């Protein structure tokens, strides 16, 4: 019966599914209320209120040192806590976009204790839930590991304006603007790592296709609308028949020369590991590349186990550092 839903689109021929994708789940700061910040509200019944609350209103600043219920597995034997980020290390820099609007963006100076990473910047493209507030723990992880971080919120997420989520063309345009801004802020513009988490794989892929990072990393990333359609919808036609290719990383990056790290869980319930393998196979064999499969992780911060970094921050940091040392030494200090 699912196939019948798409008959009108197929009959129109040239119409694609791009306007319907991706499937965003933001909470804009103007929507934050006692309900979105109440762990007992029915909205959170099937999620994890320890991680999934939206409490920061538009006129409040984010607390980059807020306490979090870090999992024992995340801390392991190496950490007793994950340090907060000092206010003086965080600079809010609005990102101007087409139409005279501004997206919420931040540059975080690293702590400088890891000499190899003192001038290395992660350009973080986060997932599709709530917005910046939800991903502050992930920024904290990267800060703890020693990176500088540039992070931005998509349209409709957090404090970004406009309040409506982006269309696919808008997201790609905004991604290009975000990379240019990150490049202008980084201590060394030649040491930018493009990072895509979950749906952040889409803007990360656009950045990687249009600009030169010293490396690109995809964590539990949404890499191909075509693969998602072919995997999840009852269609006899290939997904490429219904998409423009705008979000197909396996097509956009098939000629990439940028060292590529793909991290994915074998039990990711939202983005099947076969989608990550599909991208890995399409990256040229003469391009330095590595795929690391994490056993038993969920997709993101919440759930019973959390995502890939939550399985052990030290191990996560070692995966990244080992990859850079072996495949992308240009990302590291000489």
pLDDT at 133: 96
Contacts 24+ apart (CB under 8 A), 236-243: 236/3, 237/10, 242/6, 242/9, 242/16, 242/17, 243/16, 243/17, 243/18, 243/21
Measure CA of the first residue to CA of the last residue in the chain; give whole Å: 59
Whether 268 maps to a domain, the answer reads: yes
The continuous run of DSSP H or E covering 108 comes out as strand 105-108
What is residue 22's predicted lDDT score, i.e. its pLDDT? 55
pLDDT of residue 202: 94
How much is the pLDDT for 332? 98
Does any domain span residue 15?
A: no
Residue 236 in any domain: the answer is no
**Among the listed residues 105, 102, 101, the one whose alpha carbon sits nearest the alpha carbon of residue 121:** 105
In this prediction, residue 311 carries a pLDDT of 97
Domains contained in the chain, number: 1
Spatial contact of 168 and 18, defined as CB atoms under 8 Å apart: yes
Q: How far apart are CA 250 and CA 281, in angstroms?
A: 8
- What is the reported pLDDT for 214? 98
In a structure prediction context, what are the per-residue pLDDT tens digits for the chain, which is 334 residues long?
A: 333 444 344 444 444 555 545 556 899 999 999 999 999 887 777 678 889 999 999 999 999 999 999 999 999 999 999 999 999 999 999 999 988 899 999 999 999 999 999 999 999 999 999 999 999 999 999 999 999 999 999 999 999 999 999 988 999 999 999 999 999 999 999 999 999 999 999 999 999 999 999 999 999 999 877 776 666 544 433 334 445 678 899 999 999 999 999 999 999 988 999 999 999 999 999 999 999 999 999 998 888 899 999 999 999 999 999 999 999 999 999 8
CA distance 144 to 317: 9
Residue 245 lies in a domain: no
The pLDDT tens digits of the residues spanning 140-193 come to 999 999 999 999 999 999 999 999 999 889 999 999 999 999 999 999 999 999
Q: What is the pLDDT of residues 131-141, one digit of tens each?
A: 999 999 999 99
CA-based R_g, the chain, Å = 19
CATH code, domain carrying 277? 3.40.50.1820
3-state secondary structure of 197: strand
Cβ atoms of residues 84 and 137 within 8 Å: no
Q: What is the pLDDT of residue 6?
A: 41
Q: Which domain holds residue 56?
A: 25-41+48-223+250-331
Structure pTM?
Answer: 0.91
Could you tell me if residue 4 is inside a domain?
Answer: no
Nearest to 216 by CA among 289, 151, 137, 275: 289
Q: CB–CB of 46/176 below 8 Å?
A: no
Is position 213 within any domain? yes
The per-residue pLDDT for 241 is 40
Name the one residue in this structure whose structure tokens are 């991290």: 263
Within a domain: 8: no
Cβ atoms of 217 and 196 closer than 8 Å: yes
Is residue 9 a part of any domain in this protein? no
């Amino acid at each position: 019966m699912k196939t019948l839903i798409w008959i009108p689109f197929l009959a129109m021929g040239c119409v694609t599914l791009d306007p319907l994708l991706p499937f965003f789940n933001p909470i804009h700061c103007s929507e934050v209320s006692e309900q979105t910040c109440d762990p007992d509200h029915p909205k959170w019944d099937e999620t994890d209120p320890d991680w999934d609350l939206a409490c920061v209103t538009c006129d409040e600043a984010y607390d980059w040192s807020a306490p979090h219920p870090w999992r024992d597995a995340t801390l392991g034997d190496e950490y007793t806590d994950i340090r907060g980020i000092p206010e003086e290390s965080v600079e809010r820099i609005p990102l101007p976009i087409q139409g005279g609007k501004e997206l919420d963006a931040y540059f975080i100076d690293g702590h400088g204790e890891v000499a190899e990473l003192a001038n290395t910047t992660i350009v973080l493209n986060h997932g599709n839930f709530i917005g910046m507030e939800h991903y502050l723990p992930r920024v904290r992880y990267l800060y703890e590991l020693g990176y500088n971080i540039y992070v931005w919120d998509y349209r409709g997420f957090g404090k970004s304006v406009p309040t409506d989520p982006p269309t696919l063309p808008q997201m790609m345009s905004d991604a290009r603007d975000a990379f240019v801004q990150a490049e202008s802020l980084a201590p060394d513009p030649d040491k930018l790592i493009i990072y895509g988490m979950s749906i952040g794989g889409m803007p990360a892929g656009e950045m990687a296709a249009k600009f030169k990072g010293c490396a690109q990393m995809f964590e539990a990333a949404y890499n191909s609308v075509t693969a998602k359609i072919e995997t999840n919808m009852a269609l006899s036609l290939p997904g490429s028949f219904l998409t423009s290719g705008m979000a197909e990383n396996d097509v956009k990056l098939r000629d990439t020369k940028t060292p590529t790290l793909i991290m994915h869980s074998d039990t990711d319930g939202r983005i099947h590991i076969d989608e990550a393998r599909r991208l890995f196979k399409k990256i040229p064999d003469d391009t330095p590349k590595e795929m690391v499969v994490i056993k038993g992780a969920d997709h993101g911060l919440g759930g019973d186990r959390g995502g890939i970094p939550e399985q052990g921050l030290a191990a996560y940091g070692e995966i990244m550092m080992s990859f850079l040392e072996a495949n992308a030494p240009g990302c590291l200090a000489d």
